Amino acid sequence: MDALPQVFELLLWNMQKCRGKEWQRDFLELIHDRHLLLLQEASLSAVNLEIFDQHEQYFWTMARSFTHLKRQSENGVKTGCRAEPVDTLCYSSPNFEPLVQTHKMLLQTSYAIDGSDESLMVVNLHALNFSRFASYQKQMSQIHSAAAEHRGPMILAGDFNTWSKNRYSHLQELTEGLGLREAEISRKSKARHLYRHLDHLFYRGLQLQKAEIVDSVSSSDHLPIVAQFSTI
């Protein structure tokens, strides 16, 4: 596929490093008939690579955060699309996660849209979790660096680790400055996430048809978000 269709389906999911029982079954069910896949904590190993490669209709792009030598796997954010990207760029967080000393990643991809001269910019991000607020702010500034010059439609999504009011307020201020709206999704917060929503979906230049949680999935501590957009 050379371009995204004028109506397309999106999946947003933190996969928890593909460790959960039945993650492969959940993954295959979730991607069915969807055009754009934004994954965080995607794990790339010999076994997992085979699962991804079985679906040749997707063009996969990955920004690797770290390599786990014992498990022989690489982890990071991964974007799949049925249209081939016309541009890709990744940013590594300026600061490490404490203790584990790993970066978090931002992955930017762009795609042609059927019937349009504009391209869709997609920013897939996994934010620092245990770092100080100043480090979080520095990573969030990379969103502006990636998107400031883009004038067309845009999707920003990922696990933003917005477990504090300061973090979420800062994210809101940044997205409003870029003209992005947050998709309204009915969902319950979790104790393990400090009763805050960590996964968010922002957009501009598109019509949001629907956005909802898939609450039947239990192979990750994050519930998937699915959405449908229209460019018409």
Residue 47 has pLDDT above 90, yes or no: no
Residue 91 in any domain: the answer is: yes
CATH number of 71's domain = 3.60.10.10
This prediction has a pTM of 0.93
Average pLDDT, integer, range 57-75? 74
Average pLDDT, the chain: 89
Domain total in the chain: 1
Assess if residue 26 is contained within a domain: yes
- What residue type is 42 in one-letter code? A
**Which pLDDT tens digit goes with each residue over 117-156?**
999 999 999 999 999 999 999 999 999 999 989 999 999 9
Decide if 2 is inside a domain. Answer: no
pLDDT of residue 69: 46
94 in any annotated domain: yes
| CA separation for the pair 171, 224 (Å, rounded) | 20
Does the pLDDT value for residue 162 go beyond 60?
yes
Instruction: Show Cβ contacts of residue 123 under 8 Å, excluding neighbours closer than 6 positions.
Output: 106, 107, 108, 143, 146, 147, 154, 155, 156, 157, 158
Q: Is 170 inside a domain boundary?
A: yes
Q: Is residue 148 part of a domain?
A: yes
Residue 190 or residue 107, greater confidence: 107
Domain encompassing residue 26? 7-230
In a domain, 1, yes or no: no
Instruction: Specify if 142 maps to a domain.
Output: yes
φ, ψ dihedrals at 185, nearest 5°: -130, 130
* Residues in the chain, total: 232
Q: Which residues of 185-201 are buried (b: 16+ CB within 10 A; e: fewer)?
A: beeeeeeeeeeeebbbb
